[in-house]
């Protein structure tokens, strides 16, 4: 089976400095894949190469079976993109934004109107189709971006920080939309600064740092490798973490301590493991 997204020994060099350094991984069709890394890790550059905005210095990238250098137009036809920045026109209505984007993809009028209504209904904006975008909330604008990215029925959807700056309730609603799209068979690559978002949504997670892929796997794999139980000890302003293979072993260690002041036990999570891998928090 051909991977939906494939990177083979990819480099991107700016001013003789490698921003992406020998990056290789695959995303299978129908997979929800998370790409995480601290600021400056090379995530944004990787996304830009995948969506044909930046050419790799070296290596090969294919998306939906097409080479991003040789078949840029075919790649664009098969991808949807929702960037962190709001990129819809505030002075147009919701419907006009969808209409313009559909025309850019040369969707004939007979199909265009049905697709616009279908995706606006899907993201619960059909009752706001005549509203100017400038009157929408941040969450509505993000949902409109998702609807617009889906209008031409792409094979792969790229979501770059899709819920940044949104309130928790709106973020959870977007999670439901993203999860449902994936259940319908959409291949999705997600970058996020919210660890719980990646842990909740993603089938597999790739961790990048300094332009390199340092770890790749499922959450179960990470917790099995680093530890499912965590002992947290607070000493003044310092917080120390100690991983244990299981939560029961972490509890047994706590019970063996004569002084349990400032010590607690809990299950490990993605943020704990990320800090263990990279030595720093995502933000």
Q: What is the pLDDT of residue 48?
A: 93
Q: Where are the domains of the chain?
A: 5-221, 228-267
Q: What is the pLDDT of residue 194?
A: 87
Spatial strand order of the sheet with 32-36 comes to 79-82, 156-160, 187-191, 32-36, 204-209, 212-217
d(CA 94, CA 88): 9
Q: What is the pLDDT of residue 281?
A: 57
Residue 14's pLDDT band (cuts 50, 70, 90): very high
CA proximity to 181, closest of 208, 158, 207? 158
CA proximity to 146, closest of 97, 109, 107? 97
Sequence-distant (≥ 6) Cβ neighbours of residue 48 within 8 angstroms = 54
d(CA 122, CA 119): 5
CA proximity to 99, closest of 83, 84, 87, 115? 115
Residue with tokens 């970058």: 191
Q: Lowest-pLDDT range, 38-42, 51-55, 66-70?
A: 38-42
Mean pLDDT of the chain: 92
CA proximity to 273, closest of 218, 235, 236? 218
Q: What is the pLDDT of residue 106?
A: 93
Token code pair at residue 151:
């209008």
Q: Lowest-pLDDT range, 10-14, 86-90, 176-180, 243-247?
A: 86-90
d(CA 11, CA 245): 36
pLDDT surpasses 80 at 137: yes
User: How buried is residue 236: exposed, middle or buried, by Cβ count under 10 Å (0-12/13-18/19+)?
Assistant: exposed
C-beta contacts of 96-103 below 8 A and 24+ residues apart: 97/133, 97/144, 97/148, 98/129, 98/144, 98/147, 98/148, 98/151, 101/148, 101/151, 101/152, 102/151, 102/152
Residue 164's pLDDT band (cuts 50, 70, 90): confident
Q: Is 155 helix (H, G, I), strand (E, B) or coil?
A: coil
Give one DSSP letter per residue of 77-133, joined into a string. Answer: HTEEEE-SS--S-TTSBHHHHHHHHHHHTT--HHHHHHHHHHHHHHTT-GGGTTSBG
* pTM, 2 dp: 0.91
DSSP state of 68: T
CA proximity to 21, closest of 2, 4, 37, 5? 37
Which CATH superfamily is 5-221 part of? P-loop containing nucleotide triphosphate hydrolases (3.40.50.300)
- Could you report the per-residue pLDDT of 166-219, keeping only the tens digit for each? 889 999 999 999 999 999 999 999 998 888 999 999 999 999 998 999 999 999
């Amino acid at each position: 089976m051909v991977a939906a997204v494939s990177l083979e020994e990819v480099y991107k060099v700016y001013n003789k400095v490698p921003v992406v350094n020998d990056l290789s991984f695959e995303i299978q069709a129908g997979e929800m894949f998370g790409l995480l890394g601290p600021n400056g890790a090379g995530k944004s550059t990787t996304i830009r190469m995948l969506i044909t905005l930046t050419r790799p210095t070296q290596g090969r990238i294919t998306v939906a079976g097409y080479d991003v250098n040789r078949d840029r137009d075919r790649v664009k036809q098969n991808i949807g993109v929702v960037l962190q920045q709001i990129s819809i026109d505030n002075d147009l209505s919701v419907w006009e934004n969808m209409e313009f984007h559909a025309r850019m993809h040369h969707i004939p009028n007979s199909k265009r109107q049905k697709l616009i209504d279908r995706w606006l209904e899907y993201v619960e904006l059909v009752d706001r189709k005549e509203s100017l975008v400038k009157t929408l909330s941040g969450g509505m604008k993000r949902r409109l971006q998702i609807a617009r990215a889906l209008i031409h029925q792409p094979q792969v959807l790229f979501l770059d920080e899709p819920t940044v700056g949104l309130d928790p309730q709106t973020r959870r609603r977007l999670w439901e939309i993203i999860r449902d799209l994936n259940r319908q068979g959409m291949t999705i690559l997600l970058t996020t600064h919210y660890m719980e978002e990646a842990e909740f949504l993603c089938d597999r997670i790739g961790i990048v740092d300094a332009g390199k892929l340092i770890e790749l796997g499922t959450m179960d794999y990470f917790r099995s490798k680093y530890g499912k139980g965590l002992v947290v000890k607070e000493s003044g302003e310092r917080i120390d973490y100690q991983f244990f293979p299981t939560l029961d072993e972490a509890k047994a260690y706590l019970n063996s301590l004569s002084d349990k002041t400032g010590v607690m036990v809990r299950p490990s999570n993605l943020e704990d493991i990320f800090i263990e891998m990279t030595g720093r928090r995502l933000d």
